[in-house]
Amino acid sequence: MTNFLETDQGRKIAYHKTGGEGPTVVFLGGLKSDMEGTKAIHLEAFCKARGQSFLRFDYSGHGESSEKFTDGCIGDWHEDTVAAVTALTAGPLIVVGSSMGGWQALLLARAMPERLVGLVGIAAAPDFTEDGYWAGFTDMQKEQMETQGYVELPSDYMEPYIITKRMIEDGRTRLVLRDDLNLPFPVRLLQGTADTAVSTETAVRLLDHAQSPDMRLQLVKDADHRFSDDTCLGLIEAAVAEITDLANA
């Protein structure tokens, strides 16, 4: 059964939490995805079988949570993440972020580094509003953004994305690849070479930029952005299990 958390901002966040030993694994989904996705459900079952606590939730404007997607931005979803983690978990965390959730995981690490004992990025997409969307916009799209306040972009996986001016402008205040990014815990980055949404160059840029005592990038030939076949799911499991063992050593 889905539970709901009301945040200080008045948003209702839908979540599922399963109990167990720590560190708690928190799954952060991608843009316009929800907590019913293959990776989230699979990881929940994996943690439950291991007796490890697990949290998945929907950002506002996503899934079963309140608000409209087009009203949200990176900062709002960061607030949702902080609210969910603060209210629903205790003790050490392993954060698993997929695509935009990878950016959210890095923002969470910056906000509460003392809570995290590990991070797993799956096709992590830090700074994508600036380096992906804005950098790729034509002059006409940039003008459209100014005049009508949004741009419509096609998606390989669902209906078109509505990218708002607010999302772009807020994203500029949340960038993590311009300043020092200290991740004082093990980090595992997983990336498919056939990913058309997040490039391997993005993964390498993050690897080069961040400071971590134990950071590794694993490239999977021909894996796409979903990163959800049996092989990829096994790699996610292995990364979570390895970081858990390191945290508990």
The set of catalytic residues is 99, 195, 225
Q: Which two tokens stand for residue 149?
A: 């306040």
**Rounded Cα distance, 192 and 78, in Å:** 25
The set of residues, in sequence order, having a beta carbon less than 8 Å from that of 231 and lying 6+ positions away, is 220, 223
**Rounded Cα distance, 219 and 200, in Å:** 8
Give 218's strand partners. 190
Please list the helix, strand and coil fractions of the chain in percent, rounded to the nearest 5, in that order.
Answer: 40, 25, 35
Residue 188: strand, helix, or coil: strand
User: Which helix H or strand E contains 234, and what residues bound it?
Assistant: helix 230-248
Residue 118: strand, helix, or coil: strand
Residue type, 24: T
Residue 142: strand, helix, or coil: helix
DSSP readout, 57-85?
EPPTTSTTSSS-GGG--HHHHHHHHHHHH
Asked if residue 99 lies in contact with residue 39, where contact means CB atoms within 8 angstroms, the answer is no
